[in-house]
């Protein structure tokens, strides 16, 4: 039961991240070129809770990130794979300006702006997972790779355009991978269902700028290659409006509509009923599948390369 509750908490973290990554692209300019560093970087971290800016070494920061993104009873190899993703994300994020314009710092502790950060939850195994990958980042074409991740794939991951409504050219390192049955993933992320009344939908969608009057119908108009919803048409007494699947999921609370990998989607008698599998946008590292792969004896590098295509793991400092 504890693990099931943990999955819900993890989903809350990933909701905010999924909203942020819609706005961030994999850069093709020179800002995120990977270079060897003489020493471990020192970051300035804006502490959203107190408003102060702290300096800390990158590896110290990453231990708090991994502790914020995973749980204290997971395999070390899963922590290590997450550390590579988080380190790559951080280096890419900082190379493109970080949150300097907003706070005068490289990163913040807000999950909506950067990554989760929970230093109080650091364990010896988390420190070990971070240390065993010290200085390692994912690169593609000698550039930092944006390390997207989510809670659970539902058995198949998606590329960025499908899972994230990514607006630019598909990054060359993303891929869709089918995964075996996961005995470790909690039941509520393997199979979930939710209902919304027409009145509830009206309010939720209006908050996102979708104003079609009283809701009279909601239907899927397009699915992607992995059968995730990519387009939805909302009908109402004052017209109709199309939304992307990821937009709709965020609008109706992505802790309830856990993914766009949907089996049932039916509006009848004033109620929208949805059932599906998976938790999160489905792009990149699937954390519960990383857990499974680690249990199966996979190395951190093997876990990373399960989810991204053609990436090189490179150590950029000692």
Residues 261 and 294 in one domain: no
Are 39 and 133 within one domain?
yes
161 with 246, same domain: the answer is: no
| DSSP state, residue 73 | T
Indicate whether 16 pLDDT > 70. no
* Rounded distance between C-alpha atoms, residue 281 and residue 106, angstroms: 26
Q: What is the pTM of this model?
A: 0.86
73 and 213 assigned to the same domain: no
Token reading at 160: 């960025």
Q: How many CA atoms lie within 13 A of 187 on its CB side?
A: 2
Same domain for 97 and 225?
no
Per-residue pLDDT band at 26 (split at 50, 70, 90): very low
Say yes or no: 235 and 129 in one domain: no
Q: Over range 167-173, report the average pLDDT.
A: 93
Does 180 share its domain with 89? yes
Residue pair 192/277 in contact by the 8 Å Cβ criterion: yes
Q: How many independent structural domains does the chain possess?
A: 2
Average pLDDT over residues 250-275: 97
Q: What tokens does 284 get?
A: 């990149």
Mark whether 272 and 285 lie in a shared domain. Answer: no
Say if residue 148 is in the same domain as residue 261: no
* Residue 285 β-bridge partners: 149
Question: Which of 10-14, 119-123, 186-190, 212-216 bottoms out in mean pLDDT, i.e. has the lowest?
Answer: 10-14
Distances in Å between the Cα of 239 and the Cα atoms of 160, 230, 296 are 30, 21, 52
Q: What is the pLDDT of residues 96-119, one digit of tens each?
A: 899 999 999 999 999 878 888 999
Residue 86 shares a structural domain with residue 54:
yes
> 249 and 227, same structural domain?
yes
Domain span at residue 28 reads 2-186+281-315
* 271 and 295 belong to one structural domain: no
Q: Kindly report the length of the chain.
A: 318
**Which of 26-40, 53-67, 198-212 is predicted with the least confidence, judged by mean pLDDT?**
26-40
């Amino acid at each position: 039961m504890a693990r099931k509750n943990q999955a819900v908490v993890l989903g809350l973290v990933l909701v905010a991240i999924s909203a942020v990554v819609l706005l961030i692209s994999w850069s093709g300019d020179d800002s995120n070129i990977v270079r060897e560093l003489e020493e471990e970087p020192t970051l300035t971290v804006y502490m959203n809770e107190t408003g102060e800016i702290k300096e800390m070494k990158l590896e110290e920061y990453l231990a708090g990130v991994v502790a914020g993104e995973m749980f204290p009873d997971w395999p070390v190899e899963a922590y290590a794979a997450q550390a590579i993703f988080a380190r790559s994300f951080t280096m890419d994020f900082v190379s493109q300006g970080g949150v300097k314009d907003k706070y005068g710092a490289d990163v913040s502790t807000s999950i909506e702006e950067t990554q989760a950060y929970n230093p109080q939850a650091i364990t010896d195994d988390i420190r070990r997972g971070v240390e065993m990958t010290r200085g390692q980042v994912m690169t593609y074409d000698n550039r930092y790779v944006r390390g997207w991740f989510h809670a659970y794939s539902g058995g198949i991951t998606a590329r960025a355009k499908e899972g994230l409504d990514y607006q630019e050219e598909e990054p060359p390192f993303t891929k869709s991978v089918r995964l075996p049955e996961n005995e470790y993933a909690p039941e509520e992320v393997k199979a979930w269902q939710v209902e919304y009344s027409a009145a509830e939908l009206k309010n939720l969608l209006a908050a996102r700028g979708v104003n079609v009057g009283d809701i009279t119908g909601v239907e899927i108009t397009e699915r992607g290659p992995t059968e995730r919803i990519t387009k939805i048409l909302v009908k109402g007494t004052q017209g109709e409006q199309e939304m992307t699947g990821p937009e709709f999921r965020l609008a109706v609370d992505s802790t309830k509509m856990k993914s766009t990998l949907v089996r049932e989607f039916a509006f009848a008698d004033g109620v929208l009923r949805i059932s599906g599998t998976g938790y999160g946008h489905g792009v990149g590292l699937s954390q519960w599948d990383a857990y499974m792969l680690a249990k199966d004896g996979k190395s951190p590098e093997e876990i990373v390369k399960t989810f991204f295509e053609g990436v090189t793991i490179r150590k950029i400092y000692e």
